[in-house]
Amino acid sequence: MSTGERILQAGKPAVGGFLHAWGHLAAEEPLDFGRAVQYGTDSETQCKLFTTGGKFIGISVYDATKGYETRDGSGNPSEVRRYLQYDNVVILRKGTVPVIAAETVEAGDSVYIDDTTGEFYAGSGAGKTLLAGATWVSDSVSVTGEGVIALIEIDLPA
């Protein structure tokens, strides 16, 4: 992995900018870094991946202290670092963060979230929600082991 690839890691905030994040909600279910997040079943204490009808509250931020788990939940430590169920999740509300884009994007494009998967898009369409207060601030790049990554800048009310 090159230096540039290490810098562009989903959910790892860009260096040098102002950030505002929450850290008081626990993951209701396993949650990847750099994903759209909504309140969980208990909105006072939980959060989960954004889905249809949810209220977008931010993007899950990379945390090097969190455990490894495969995306299928088998616990193989060689697969992916992510928030596990009940982990305290850091949620970016204001700042710039790399995310995995589901398609090629360009700086200046609007940001949409897929209502089923929580993936980020530049194009609108059925089953996608416009993310008000967010903009793609870089063109997408292909990063080994991550997929297509681009920077999103969000500015949500504190």
Q: Which domains does the chain have, with CATH numbers?
A: 3-155 (2.40.300)
Q: Which of 11, 12, 31, 22 is nearest to 86 (CA)?
A: 31
69 neighbors 30 (Cβ within 8 angstroms): yes
Task: Return the bridge partners of 152, or none.
Answer: 97, 136
Minimum mean pLDDT range among 12-21, 33-42, 78-87 = 12-21
pLDDT of residue 20: 62
pLDDT of residue 30: 86
- Work out the percent of the chain whose per-residue pLDDT is above 90: 32
Residues 143, 6: Cα–Cα separation, whole Å: 9
pTM (whole model) above 0.85: no
Question: Which has more confidence, 51 or 73?
Answer: 51
pLDDT of residue 55: 87
